[in-house]
Structure 1
Amino acid sequence: MQTLTDLVASIRPLDKQKMAQAADYIESLAKPAKSLGRLEVMATQLAGMRGLSHLDNLQKEIIVMCADHGVFDEGVAVTPKEVTYIQALNMQKGLTGVCVLAKNSQTSVLPVDIGIDCEPIADMVSLKLARGCGNIARGPAMSRQDAEQLLLASAQLVKKRAEEGVSIFGVGELGIANTTPASAMISVFSDCDPHDVVGIGANLPLERLQHKESIVRKAVHINRPDGNDAVDVLAKVGGYDLVGMTGVILGAGACGLPVVLDGFLSYAAAIAACQIAPEVKNYCIPSHFSAEKGAQRALEHLNLKPYLYLDLRLGEGSGAAIAMSILSAACAMYCHMGLQANSGFSLPGSPT
């Protein structure tokens, strides 16, 4: 994967023949037709992914991109900036929300320093180009060259982890003030006013919400990102963590493997990834409906329906961690459920 063009070209369509065979097989299982609903749809989707030779005992991992944002200086968050660094350390110790939820679903968590405003963290994977991106209210988050470099580096990390045995990826993020650039991206991509997408993030007081909207509006006005050029949008009004998640999504698709989206931040990254490589949408599994204000508009833009409605807005990949159990359930159904032909009965609508 030497260039972004090479990366995009490596993302291939799902195997329709394997999907048809999987759908027929699911119909022959010992159950009424379609009775396991979206689990059947998910299993069929997974069966069409060329990177999965089987669906049993798949290794799962959530890659959490951690970075700070210059726009924090505009007063768009109440959580101290240092919490990005502190929680990255806690993530290494397995103490954060995504870690405990991932453990519950037998999923590993890989935190990545892709731009935390700190010195190098011992034993943490680092793709860092700088200690925090630029302040989007005053200029671009980064150069286009840096955005492309991080997209490719993040995709390469996925490839490496896939070679080491990971078959199901999830995306997460950690970065104080990062709902501001995510809102800017979704506003640009969906061609709507920031008022329609800007939410409270990590408990921003309602009386400060209008200010946050104005910062997003200012960022879009100053940088003038091209909504038809996802890399331009990422570079101008995104952030290192958002670029990293976009790269993970593209990397998973290039490996022919599923990637479980998390919440609001991951929606922004997924929109960017799907614009760069439309075929990658087939590898995306939407986990949950974020409680952040712009979730509905972002998911409508993606035309994806989440599996969970839990009013989550923690981020970190926490929703993806819970949804990993749903993927495991779909795979268990496909791999271990008995056949009608061996169960002593047949049901109307089932293959004969």
Structure 2
Amino acid sequence: MDRSKPFEPQPISFLPQLVERTWGGHGLSRYGKRCGPGALVGESWEVSDVEGMPSVLDGGPYSGKTIRDLMASYSSEVLGAARAPEHPAGGAQFPLLLKLLDAQEDLSIQVHPSDEDLARSGIRRNGKTEAWIILDAEPGARVWHGLAPGVDRTALFDRLEKLGGGRLPDGEADRLFRWIPVERGDVVFVPAGTIHAVGKGITLLEVQQTSDITYRIYDWGRRDRKTLEPRKLHIAEARGVSEPPRVPCPFRRLNKLPAQPGFVPVISAADCDKLTVECATLAPGSPSGLEVLASTQEARSSRFHILSAFEGEVRVRPQHGAELKLRPGMFVLLPSILGGYSVTAVEPAQVLRFSCGA
């Protein structure tokens, strides 16, 4: 990209990057992803500036360039006042990573370090706070979020370390970990340091800090498909992760948000300084009706927005650039410099909006 030329403000779409996982399947095909025959697609990386996995722009004057190219040339125009960490290769890194996940099996139980945990270890990388929006959940689907009452964190690590990657006896996992039933529209907030896992039968949208650091502490006795050895665990690293205050789970439910016009906070900057989630409900008789007006330059500051439809189809009309349609499974980045835009429902819809704290 030629930095000498002014940035052309308009909505930015990206090509999804499909990632196979042992626990994946074909569920993301319902969201427009091309899952090949026999492929176990577990994740679709929709917006990513993770080293080695940068998203590629799809359409517009910068089509074919990567988000890394975009950030290297126009980070201030994209981010505005939003805080950005430093990319390992230098320069500003886009601060959020957005994915779709399809869990056909229980995922491993994990914990992620915070920025502060990594800094104490001398690691100059981002921690990982994240949130999940449940898109689909089979009857009885559940997540693991924290430990069961009375379970000591150190004693848990001792137990899992002694197990050596093996499987816990039937029922013991449910006595050690706090499990929560979930359904479509639940929002699960996972601050860094929270022990957690996604259960089978769940499709979700994940928004998180731009980080790919995961400490796996239990994996149901599964073995590596190549070595046939128990999958590697990271219990020693997990012991160095600080425990955050417990938060409600689910944190919010999209069908129980306050009846207010515009985008309603789901996870606000007061709840989390790493990411924000909002939701607009568009329907006849709702406070917003079928249209909401918004801007990336509100409240005497500017910051990027990422939009994704949770339900229904909407049209996004920007102040600059072409109108576009947005359906579930689709994402669009609105750079901070874009300014005003409208979101209009073709049918009753809910639209999610993501950004970061100041």
TM-score normalised by the chain length of structure 1: 0.29
Higher strand share: 2
